[in-house]
């Protein structure tokens, strides 16, 4: 049986520098670089399709980073946390909700992974 809280702790330790629960934590330089590289500069200049592609690419790249950092992390948990992490880190929460309303993405389990 997978211990979800332990998996989340390990993932957060990868995504944040010196992760401490209940405190403000700084995103790791690697995670920040992955997200920035996925957007190739100014996200405000991207079309809706390009923005969606950039977010999906950032999520996939963050999942790959998590998997390469710790091969024992459950990929399903990593993907859910990476999705929430990227959407929150980029400030695209409202955009993502609009995409879900249009039926283009799913927000299943979205709020439980805060």
Domain boundaries, the chain: 27-39+46-113
Report pTM.
0.83
* 57 band by pLDDT with thresholds 50, 70 and 90: very high
Among the listed residues 3, 21, 1, 7, the one whose alpha carbon sits nearest the alpha carbon of residue 80: 7
The mean of the pLDDT values for the chain is 85
Over residues 23-32, the pLDDT tens digits come to: 899 999 999 9
CA distance 44 to 35: 15
Over residues 58-70, the pLDDT tens digits come to: 999 999 999 999 9
pLDDT at 15 over 60: yes
| CA 76 from centre of chain | 13
């Amino acid at each position: 049986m997978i211990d979800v809280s332990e998996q989340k702790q390990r993932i957060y330790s990868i995504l944040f520098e010196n992760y401490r629960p209940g405190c403000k934590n700084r995103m790791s330089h690697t995670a920040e670089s992955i997200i920035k590289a996925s957007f190739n500069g100014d996200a405000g200049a991207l079309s809706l399709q390009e923005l969606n592609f950039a977010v999906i690419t950032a999520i996939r790249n963050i999942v790959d980073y998590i998997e390469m950092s710790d091969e024992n992390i459950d990929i399903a948990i990593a993907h859910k946390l990476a999705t929430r992490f990227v959407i929150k880190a980029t400030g695209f929460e409202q955009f993502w909700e609009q995409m879900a309303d249009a039926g283009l993405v799913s927000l299943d389990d979205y709020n439980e992974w805060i």
